[in-house]
């Protein structure tokens, strides 16, 4: 039987956080043997908020090097940069024409981001139709992402179904794939919000590329509570988040962790969490340093990736054009 297809993407809009790692990146390499995987660096999405061009170029290669450092193997998976495959934008345009405006205006990510900027550009609103295009272009069966992308995935499914019923069966309707533990890593300072690289408080997130000392410091400073007992409960969101991080990096269940720290204080618990994170990220940090400077290798990977992706994308786009009534080129 043919392997099923996986598609996922990460925006090069800054350095990646521990949340990106646990919620998404870490799971990518595990899927490579069982699935036909495409992993994209979604620079067209990144520009929906203002980017410094020089920074964007650097961040794009950083994400590529992190993909490789996290064990994605270009011999097994297709790794590429979104803007190198113009079919994404082309299909995104077509999908915009069958997506109700109200549905885009209801997306929570759009509402959050548009509240934070003075002028809201059309690209921010249309972000989810481009994301749908990313996924549908490759007829992906599953999309590994963090829990924050659930609404976008539901919209993608709606768009696929709408297209299929209007123009006859064309797209695979994709499923979301979220990790059992760690689908939403929270801020270390305000654990009611997700950990995000766009936060202005640097202590609220750990970057994959932070130094080991910085990582330890940030975990020691993480907000806890006055209960003083290591419990996995919504009443103690700070501690719950640290248990989640510990659990997702060690495979120990939250219950096991709670038992291990019975009668022990937060100080000891936090030092152990810090070591788990430092150890967990060390291999990827080390590999990143090796790979990031090898410009030739990075270029080879993204060029070959774009070629493979473009070939597959063209097939779907041709079908779409035909069904929508365009004259074949
Ligand atoms: P982004 O940085 O927004 O492109 O996100 C890349 C991937 O990381 C997506 O699959 C997100 O769902 C995931 N992600 C981002 N932040 C978190 C978080 N705090 N916890 C878990 N997953 C996350
Ligand atoms: N919207 C995703 C995020 O912010 C990034 C993304 C763009 C994506 N296109 C995608 C994720 C396609 C999965 C599949 O995390």
- Exposure string for 176-205, b = 16+ CB within 10 A, e = fewer: bbbbebbbbbbbbbebeebbbbebeeebbb
Give the lowest-confidence range in 36-45, 112-121, 244-253: 112-121
Mutate to test the pocket of ligand 1, among 15, 19, 196, 199 (most ligand atoms within 8 A of CB): 19
Mutate to test the pocket of ligand 2, among 128, 131, 184, 196 (most ligand atoms within 8 A of CB): 131
How many other C-beta atoms lie within 10 A of the C-beta of residue 89?
13
Reported as type and span, the H/E element at residue 36 is strand 36-41
Residue 9 CB–ligand 2 contact under 6 Å: yes
How many other C-beta atoms lie within 10 A of the C-beta of residue 97?
8
The DSSP secondary structure of 51-76, one letter per residue, reads: --HHHHHHHHHHHHHHHHHTT--TTT
**pLDDT at residue 121 in the model:** 94
273 contact partners, CB below 8 Å, separation of at least 6: 219, 242, 245, 246
pTM of the model: 0.96
Residue 27 predicted with pLDDT over 80: yes
Tell me the pLDDT of the chain averaged across its residues: 97
1: CA distance to ligand 2 center in Å?
Answer: 28
**pLDDT at residue 167 in the model:** 98
Q: Where residue 49 falls among pLDDT bands split at 50, 70, 90? A: very high
* Angle (nearest 5°) at CA 247 between 243 and 251: 165
Domain ranges of the chain: 5-183+294-324, 202-289
How many other C-beta atoms lie within 10 A of the C-beta of residue 134?
26
Q: Where residue 14 falls among pLDDT bands split at 50, 70, 90? A: confident
**pLDDT at residue 2 in the model:** 86
Residue 41 CB–ligand 1 contact under 6 Å: no
**pLDDT at residue 253 in the model:** 96
User: What percent of the chain stands above pLDDT 70?
Assistant: 100
* Angle (nearest 5°) at CA 159 between 156 and 161: 110
How many other C-beta atoms lie within 10 A of the C-beta of residue 57?
13
**pLDDT at residue 127 in the model:** 98
**pLDDT at residue 116 in the model:** 85
Residue 11 CB–ligand 2 contact under 6 Å: yes
What is the per-residue pLDDT across 159-182, written as a single tens digit (0 to 9) for each? 999 999 999 999 999 999 999 999
Q: Which of 3.40.640.10, 3.10.180.10, 3.40.50.620, 3.40.50.1400 is the CATH number of 5-183+294-324? A: 3.40.50.620
Question: Which CATH code fits 202-289?
Answer: 1.10.240.10
Residue 270 CB–ligand 2 contact under 6 Å: no
- Whether 177 contacts 170, CB under 8 Å: no
* Cα 209 to Cα 300: distance, rounded to the nearest angstrom: 24
Residue 1 predicted with pLDDT over 80: no
* Cα 303 to Cα 295: distance, rounded to the nearest angstrom: 12
What is the per-residue pLDDT across 89-139, written as a single tens digit (0 to 9) for each? 999 999 999 999 999 999 999 999 999 888 899 999 999 999 999 999 999
Q: Give the mean pLDDT of 37-59.
A: 97
Residue 190 predicted with pLDDT over 90: yes
Residue 229 predicted with pLDDT over 90: yes
**pLDDT at residue 118 in the model:** 85
């Amino acid at each position: 039987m043919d392997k099923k297809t996986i598609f996922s993407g990460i925006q090069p809009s800054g350095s990646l956080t521990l949340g990106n790692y646990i919620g998404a990146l870490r799971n990518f390499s595990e899927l490579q043997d069982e699935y036909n995987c495409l992993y994209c660096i979604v620079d067209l999405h990144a520009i929906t908020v203002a980017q410094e061009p020089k920074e964007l170029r650097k961040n794009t290669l950083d994400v590529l090097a992190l993909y490789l450092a996290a064990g994605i193997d270009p011999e097994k998976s297709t790794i590429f940069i979104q803007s190198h495959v113009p079919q994404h934008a082309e299909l995104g345009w077509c999908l915009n024409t069958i997506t109700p405006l109200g549905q885009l205006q209801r997306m929570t990510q759009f509402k959050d981001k548009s509240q934070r900027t003075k002028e809201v550009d059309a690209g921010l609103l249309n972000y989810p139709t481009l994301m749908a295009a990313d996924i549908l272009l490759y007829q992906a069966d599953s999309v590994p992402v963090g829990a924050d992308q659930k609404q976008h995935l539901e919209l993608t499914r709606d768009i696929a179904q709408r297209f299929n019923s209007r123009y006859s069966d064309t797209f695979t309707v994709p499923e979301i794939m979220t990790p059992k533990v760690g689908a939403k890593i929270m801020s270390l300072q305000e654990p009611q919000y997700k950990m995000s690289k766009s936060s202005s408080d640097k202590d609220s997130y750990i970057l994959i590329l932070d130094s080991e000392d910085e990582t330890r410091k940030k975990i020691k400073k993480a907000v806890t509570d006055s209960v003083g007992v290591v419990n996995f409960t919504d009443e103690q969101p700070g501690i719950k988040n640290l248990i989640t991080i510990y659990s997702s990096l060690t495979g120990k269940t939250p219950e096991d962790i709670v038992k291990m720290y019975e009668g022990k204080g937060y100080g000891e618990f936090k030092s152990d969490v810090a070591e788990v994170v430092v150890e967990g990220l060390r291999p990827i940090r080390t590999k990143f340093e090796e790979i990031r400077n090898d410009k030739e290798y990075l270029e080879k990977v993204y060029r070959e990736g774009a070629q493979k992706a473009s070939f597959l994308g063209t097939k779907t786009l041709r079908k779409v054009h035909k069904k929508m009534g365009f004259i074949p080129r």
